[in-house]
Amino acid sequence: MLKLDPICWPAPAKLNLFLYINGQREDGYHELQTLFQFIDLCDYLTISPNLSGEITLTPEIKDLPVNENLIYKAAMMLKNNMAEKIDKNLGANIHIEKNLPMGGGLGGGSSDAATTLLALNYHWDLDLTKLQLAQIGLTLGADLPIFIAGKASLAEGVGEQLTTVAPIENHYLVAMPACHISTPVVFQNSALIRDTKKRSLTELMSQNWLNDCEPCVKNSYPKVAKVIDWLLEYAPTRLTGTGACVFSTFSTAQEAQVVLDKSPPWLTAFTCKGLNCSPMNTLLSSLE
């Protein structure tokens, strides 16, 4: 049964707490081991289902046409995949509150797409499993399955093999250097570390964590190096994913805030808390 009441759905950011590259396959993709954890900074999508047959997005996002927005793409993929089973008049207006930086490596686009799939599955009463939703949206972003799954996870292979884990839910200061980093460009860099030995889950969770992309990113992007070097004065700091965002780890919110208060004018940053369960998962569970 169509659930018409509007609901405000969270789309959380993620951090890669570590990232190791174990080798490159013949098809060009890289084998990796990375640990995903959510943070409590979210975009919010208020979805109002209707029987217009149309997907509309508000407000417009500058320099991003609607048909290129991953939210719209996810909604249309779901409609098209279910075309033979659902009313063709099913539609929705999706109002976006955009809080996550675009292109910073926090997974905002993938998270928005995942939230769209999960929310419309609920509103349109499609009864699809999370695995089915992830398969529908797989082309929208390599991080999409982790946002669909909704649990902090170790990702292996090319990122598709997920194992639920429970790292400490630390507090973080996340900084956003004033540059955009292309993930394909990083993975094409000849200086990229590509031969880190695969380790067991026990080994991975008990060692000091690193990001194999960080050395070549720091070398290629001086603004990232400047941010990391400044934050290292105060706390362990690493690149998340291929960047450009970096994060520092603290035991308490107060410790993170103290460093944020000291930050120089050129540093754009915010504090947040790590979450092992996605706020989207929590909301869906409360609606069951």
pLDDT single digits (tens) 109-133: 999 999 999 999 999 999 999 999 9
Alpha-carbon distance values, 107 to 8, 42, 56, 117 (Å): 19, 11, 22, 15
| C-beta of residue 55 within 8 angstroms of C-beta of residue 75 | yes
Q: What is the CA radius of gyration of the chain?
A: 19
For residue 125, the model assigns a pLDDT of: 94
Residue with tokens 């659902």: 86
The neighbour count for residue 250, using CB atoms within 10 Å, is: 21
Looking at domain 7-165, its CATH class is: alpha beta
Pairwise CA distance, residues 135 & 104, whole Å: 25
Q: What is the mean pLDDT of residues 75-86?
A: 90
48-63 pLDDT per residue, tens: 999 999 999 999 888 8
Pairwise CA distance, residues 35 & 22, whole Å: 14
Q: What is the mean pLDDT of residues 222-231?
A: 97
Active site residues: 14, 143
Q: Quick one: how far is CA 189 from the chain centroid?
A: 23
pLDDT higher than 90, residue 200: yes
Q: Domain coordinates of the chain in residue numbers?
A: 7-165, 171-275
Q: What is the mean pLDDT of residues 226-245?
A: 96
Pairing mode of beta strands 91-97, 55-58: parallel
Domain 171-275: homologous superfamily in CATH? GHMP kinase, C-terminal domain (3.30.70.890)
DSSP-assigned letter for residue 276: S
Pairwise CA distance, residues 233 & 275, whole Å: 25
| Domain 7-165 identical in fold to domain 171-275 | no
The interaxial angle of helices 108-123 and 70-81, nearest 10 deg, is 40
Pairwise CA distance, residues 176 & 213, whole Å: 16
DSSP-assigned letter for residue 110: H
pLDDT higher than 80, residue 149: yes
**What pTM did the predictor assign?**
0.94
Q: What are phi and psi of 67, to 5 degrees?
A: -75, -5
